[in-house]
Structure 1
Amino acid sequence: MALPPAFLDELRARTPLHGLIGRKTRLARNGRQWKGCCPFHNEKTPSFYVYDDHFHCFGCGAHGDALTFLMRAEGASFPEAVERLAAEAGMEVPKPTPQVAAREKRARDLHGVLAAAEAAYRRRLFLPEGRAALDYLRKRGLSDETIARFGLGWSGEGRGALAAELKAEGIEPPQLVAAGLMKPRDPDRPEAGLSDMFFGRVMFPIRDRRGRTISFGGRILGDGQPKYVNGPETELFHKRQGLYGLDLAREGAFRGAALLVVEGYMDVIALHQAGFSGAVAPLGTALTAEQLELIWQLSPEPVLCFDGDAAGARAAARAADLALPLLSPERSLKLATLTGGEDPDTLLRKGGPRAFQPVLDAAKPLSAALYDLLTAGRPRQTPEQRTVLRNLLEEAARRIPDKVLSGDYRRTLLDRLFAETRRPFAPAGPRRRPWPGRGERPMGIPNPPRAPIDLPGIQLERARNLLAILLRHPLLLPEVEESLMTLDLPEGDCRALRTAMLDWLAAAETLDSAALTGHLAQCGMGNAVNWATRATGLCAAAHPAAQPKEALDGWWYFFGLLRGEAELLDDLARAERRLAETFDPDAQRQVIRLKGVLDAFRSGEFDPALDEGPVPGPKASRADTIG
């Protein structure tokens, strides 16, 4: 027995083709597709391309899908290829039972029923009874070519008209019910008969990725409610697992068009007519995880474009929340937002493609749009309010499963928060180029004797010294605030002190050590302050008499040891981007300081492994420590 087409479609959709083929030949991303040397013939110049659902070699002509590849590359039979891919995709191959055979026959019949209904609706649109619907579509700016391409039609006003028309083709009312075109007048009273699902509506065929009609949406003329109605769930149609315009957008994305997700059917049609051939829309529901998976099969970074009203803002927030646990380095999103209550359809009717293109060009990566969505309307004047925001941003980043990507999102989000809330830094006066850019060690850095490696203990002592410097010299806090928040400090007193100091900084009128320690004591953190500033093992940079430059150099010394070279490189890249975008003096100072710390690493002044404590330098000795 032949396998159900729906099962094979789902199996192909669940199989990442570049991952499967990448086991046999090395592939590299090339725009929207992948490229490599053909595994079927010997070639030195790559001519083998892998797309979202098929491969093609321009050298030998090899072409096919995931099943074809396994059969050709490994000599597997069709059933063997199906069994293997199904096992990898977590699917069960349907058994050849009479029930399955009957269900597939019904599905084939339903496709035929829906195709006949679409033809009937299209005919009616151009009859006198459909004149009002055709005038409505033309008034909305649609050409006859676009109307035909999307199969738009008219349901008719008369109840039972569709059943009467299709009876001549051998289609019975029970088939129309199964296809979602008719329904019982009263589910509790079968004798009451059937009624049409759609009447007095402009009809929009909903198609699967292969272009087969699987249901309809209908729009009422005038101001009646509901404005749009979609067909019910059937064996062919599942609202959460399809997209309007998917078949045409699939072709558009293959040809290089940006994949756009909009809110309405008319938005999709208007965008395609204007040349934006990658547009799709959800089927009368909010965007679902299943629909996102479909979208990512066509493009690694689709653009979600929402209407410029309150509902559009809520839809954007829901989509971002849905996407976070599904993100990976290979797939993300962009968000484009219209303004002034516009939607793509109205904007295109007013200004044409030139009016919409700037919206597409201004689409923000999810990492940038997410900050705006999470912080919109939230106050940040008090320490408590800023802490709530910080926790909210960190929680959003933690929902991303890939740890590296999650960490990068966290840093990006917190960078934005610090940029908005940091205090302006006014240097005390000119000073010469700071350590470690000159290769000097600040006076007072401890030089403990070599001992058995205790990495947690070493990290705790480094964190203690770093915090003690700030407790004695809180004037440094505005300059180092952002960098301080990026550190992964030991749990307990270290993190509590950091949070308390930053909260105090936000509201403090004078940055005075006595005021800071007094505030911390009132907050019940006197013991933590005493622990951090105890004399044993404390560097001279944390002494109250240390000069501001000595304290600042010491702080950056311990920051570099705690941060590590890889993270410092990331910090430097972000600071350089910020400097290039804003020419902010704070960003320039940050770049200079981070380059200095990295130079110290590379010159051997730091222990890169962070497992043996500070490396002795020419100017550090036991005499440099306090106590």
Structure 2
Amino acid sequence: MARIPQHFIDELLERVDIVDLIDSRVPLKKKGSEYAACCPFHTEKTPSFYVVPDKQFYHCFGCGAHGTALSFLMEFDHLDFRDAVQDLADRVGLEIPTEASAPSPDPDGHLRAALAHADDYFRRQLRQSEAAKAYLQGRRVSGKTAARFGLGYAPDQWSGLLDSVDSDARREALLSTGMLVRKDSGRFYDRFRGRVMFPIRDSRGRTIAFGGRVIGEAQGPKYYNSPEHPLFHKGRELYGLYEARQALRSIPRLLVVEGYMDVIALAEAGIHWAVATLGTATTPDHLDKAFRITREVVCCFDGDRAGRQAAWRALENALPALRAGREVRFLFLPEGEDPDSMVRREGADAFQQRVAGAESLSRWMRRHLSEDLDLGTAEGRAALVEKARPLLARVRDRVYRELLSDELADAAGLDPARWAAMLADATETAPSSKPAPDTAAPTRPRIQRPAPLQIRLTPVREALAILLQSPRIATRVAEQPKLATLDLPGADTLAKMLEICRAEPEIRTATLLERWRGEQAHPHLEKLATTRVPGEDEDLARHLDAILARLTGPRAIAARMTELLDKAASDGLDQTEKEELRALQQARAAQEKAG
């Protein structure tokens, strides 16, 4: 597999804010210059999990968990290194480059190129269509917003896009992505005709499909989406997510609406955190994608019967994705209204107040399940238990499942313990509907780590801890000859770290640590990064200088010189060793002269 270049890892860690990343999964509270929470990796009641912005590093004083943004994703989301890098790259809209002996072909590259051609074609057609521009102006879409979302126009012609390509390969690619349709006779025609076109983009901003809104006298449904193909699965994509991430550095919440124009109207009003599903109910994949960048999702629906039914489907799909730190809420608009009409009628501030007052999932679930039940009777409470049991079984996170269960117990007017007993009784009497054992299990069992061990700081370890604490200090200490050749554990790592920190004095702890990812020293360095050596930078620089001088002092130099001289007498020295010996001789001469 092609290797991810180190310079890209460095850039990624510089762009991603570990506070925003962790806060999207575990709510953090500011404590001084750091942020704290109850540790997501072991059970505790008092917060001992701290995130240090300056280092871009986290550490739990309870269980010892620690690491960078990549480490957090690998442990919290159970990702391997490459998937964690991809997740961070998606967050900031970067494409991962690779280093390999031969370039790896993109098997879907011809499809991407065809869709990029279609995207460019539709944009050019919009500039030439007075009818399409008039439609967007009538919907109060500015040129700036149209450009930001890449809006285009498919002329009301059977072969506009078809005629714009001049190769059989490109026509076949457009056919594979659903942009062209083949007749029984073998001839092609354009799928989209007489429609304003909405490009659907992936996390890197590449167009993977289109939605089209009919205007004028064109035939067909009002809205129409590309069919699914290898690059596009509508149950996984959220329209407007790429644009939201480009507009906002941090996304505290996402509003999930039902239409392209809803997203665009909200963006026009300054609400840049709206996304839309593509003609489907909100799926678990949608929610997993949303929760990668935020901790709160608000699903917006009409207040009519169809809207409530759609909301209930969304709730059922949301249950497996829920866990502590994630919140799903529901906003019901007045019947006959949608976000587009509401934000134009009442303004952005009033609409955002509606969003802020959206109903929590637990309350909506409680209200919906209790409808038409008399909870003052045994029969009503038994019916609630029967309705709630399969839904609670879908919640994989134990803590969230218990809290949701307590909410329903309150609705029934029962003590939580009695409610739990009734649920258990119902489960025992209905074996055919019991969930599989792993369905009700938490997705991420809390790891019972031993208490962190105190690290004994040898001079080399102490020097490493100082550099990890404040990498810029390396520029303030004297260079020592051939530190890497000392016969001491970690000396080669210390020499390499000094070299990196001198060359890149602004490097941060997290970026520095990732230089050793996959090497034997990496876990030891992560532990050292949790160790604070007391003192200001000036004091630490003097202390580090003293450590290095001691490590490379007369005894250390004499021992290495003896080793090299013995080798010279027996096997001879290579050029590098000769240069090292000369440097050591010069260092010893300087020491003798000085003292």
The TM-score bracket by the shorter chain reads 0.5 to 0.7
Matched residue type, 1:47 = D
Report if aligned partners of 2:199, 2:210 keep a CA contact under 8 Å in 1.
Answer: yes
Q: Secondary structure at the match of 1:357?
A: helix
Does 1:156 pair with 2:163?
A: no
Match 2:267 to one of 264, 272, 278? 272
Choose between structure 1 and 2 for higher RCO, CA contacts under 8 A separated by at least 6 residues.
Answer: 2
Aligned counterpart in structure 1 of residue 364 of structure 2, from 366, 369, 375: 369
Q: How does 1:160-239 map to 2 (within 5 A)?
A: 160-167=159-166, 172-186=170-184, 191-221=185-215, 224-239=219-234
Among the aligned pairs, what percent are the same residue? 35
Give the whole-Å Cα distance in 2 for the aligned partners of 1:489 and 1:2. Answer: 55
Give, in whole Å, the separation in 2 of the partners of 1:310 and 1:490: 29
Quickly say closer, same or farther: Cα 1:125–1:378, change in 2 above 3 A.
farther
* SS of equivalent to 1:303: strand
| Deviation for aligned residue 1:101 | 5.3
1:119 maps to 120
Matches within 5 A, 1:277-316: 277-316=272-311
Deviation at 1:390, TM superposition (A): 3.5
Hey, what does 1:143 align to over in structure 2?
Answer: 142
The answer to whether the 8 Å contact 2:165/2:171 transfers is no
Structure 2 CA distance for partners of 1:48 and 1:304, relative to 1, 3 Å = farther
CA spacing shift, 1:153–1:490, aligned 2, 3 Å:
closer
Q: For 1:401-420, what aligned pairs fall within 5 Å after superposition?
A: 401-418=396-413
Letter of the 2:180 partner, please give it. Answer: M
Aligned residues of 2:178 and 2:229 also touching (Cα < 8 A): yes
Letter in 1 for 2:365: L
Residue 341 of structure 2 aligns to a residue whose secondary structure is: helix
Q: For each residue in 1:388-424, what CA deviation from the matched residue of structure 2 results, as whole angstroms up to 9, or x when unmatched?
A: 1233234433432223322221111221233xxxxxx
SS in 2 for 1:334: strand
State the AA in 2 paired with 1:359.
R
Tell me the equivalent position of 1:384. Answer: 379
Question: Does 1:397 find its partner at 2:396?
Answer: no
Match of 2:331, SS state, is strand
On the 8 A contact 1:253/1:298 being kept in 2, the answer is no
Aligned positions of 1:370-519 closer than 5 A: 370-378=365-373, 383-418=378-413, 482=415, 485-486=418-419, 488=421
Deviation at 1:355, TM superposition (A): 3.2
Give, in whole Å, the separation in 2 of the partners of 1:139 and 1:203: 16
Amino acid at match of 1:324: L
Residues 68 and 161 of structure 1: is their aligned pair in 2 closer, same or farther, counting only changes over 3 Å?
A: farther
Aligned match of 2:54: 47
SS at match of 2:28: strand
Which sections of structure 1, spanning at least 5 residues, go unmatched? 37-42, 52-62, 71-79, 87-93, 419-480, 497-627
Aligned to 1:107: 108
- Letter matched to residue 175 of structure 1: A
Superposed displacement of residue 110, structure 1? 2.5
Distance 1:161 1:395, change over 3 A: closer
Q: 1:487 to 1:397 in 2, by over 3 A?
A: closer
8 A Cα contact 1:309 1:340, kept in partner = yes
Amino acid at match of 2:176: A
Deviation at 1:487, TM superposition (A): 7.0
Distance of aligned partners of 1:4 and 1:141 in 2 relative to their CA distance in 1, 3 Å threshold: farther
- Which residue in 1 is equivalent to 2:449? none
Q: Distance in 2 between matches of 1:339 and 1:50?
A: 46
Q: Contact 2:323–2:397 (CA<8 Å) still a contact in 1?
A: yes
Q: Deviations over 1:533-561 (max 9, x none)?
A: xxxxxxxxxxxxxxxxxxxxxxxxxxxxx
The alpha carbon displacement at 1:69 in A equals: 10
Structure of larger gyration radius: 1
Amino acid at match of 1:158: Q
1:218 to partner: Cα distance: 0.8
1:131/1:491 Cα in 2 relative to 1: closer, same or farther (>3 Å)?
closer
The aligned runs of 1:89-108 (5 Å cut-off) are 104=106, 106-108=107-109
Q: Find the aligned partners of 2:4 and 2:182 in 1 and give their Cα distance.
A: 29
1:482, 1:28 → 2: CA distance? 29
Aligned 8 A contact 1:258 1:276 in 2: no
Letter in 1 for 2:305: A
Mark the CA change 1:85 to 1:49 in structure 2 (over 3 Å): closer, same or farther. closer
- Tell me the distance in 2 between the aligned counterparts of 1:185 and 1:491: 58
Per-residue deviation, 1:261: 0.8
Counterpart of 2:197 in structure 1: which amino acid? M
Q: How large is the RMSD of aligned CA atoms in angstroms?
A: 4.3
Q: Give deviations 1:236-290, integer Å, cap 9, x for gaps.
A: 2121221101102224553345211111111111111112111111122111111
Residues 393 and 414, structure 1, Cα contact 8 Å, conserved in 2: no
Letter in 2 for 1:179: T
Q: Is the 8 A contact 1:35 1:47 kept in 2?
A: no
With structure 2 as the length reference, what TM-score do the two structures score?
Answer: 0.55
Paired with 1:397 and 1:185, the residues of 2 have a C-alpha distance of: 49
**Is the alpha carbon distance of 1:257 and 1:330 closer, same or farther for their aligned partners in structure 2, counting shifts above 3 Å?**
closer
Partners of 1:218 and 1:296 in 2: CA distance: 28
Where 1:142 maps in the other structure, the secondary structure is coil
Cα distance, 1:483 vs structure 2: 7.2
| Structure 1 segment 469-618 matched on structure 2, within 5 A | 482=415, 485-486=418-419, 488=421
Letter of the structure 2 residue corresponding to residue 217 of structure 1? G
SS in 2 for 1:374: helix
| Partners of 1:301 and 1:135 in 2: CA distance | 36
8 A contact 1:257–1:277 mirrored in 2: no
Q: 1:266 to 1:411 in 2, by over 3 A?
A: same
Partners in 2 of 1:206 and 1:344 — Cα distance? Answer: 20
Task: Give the 4+ runs in structure 1 shifted more than 6 A.
Answer: 16-19, 67-70, 83-86, 489-492
> When the two structures are aligned, how many residues end up with a matched partner?
374
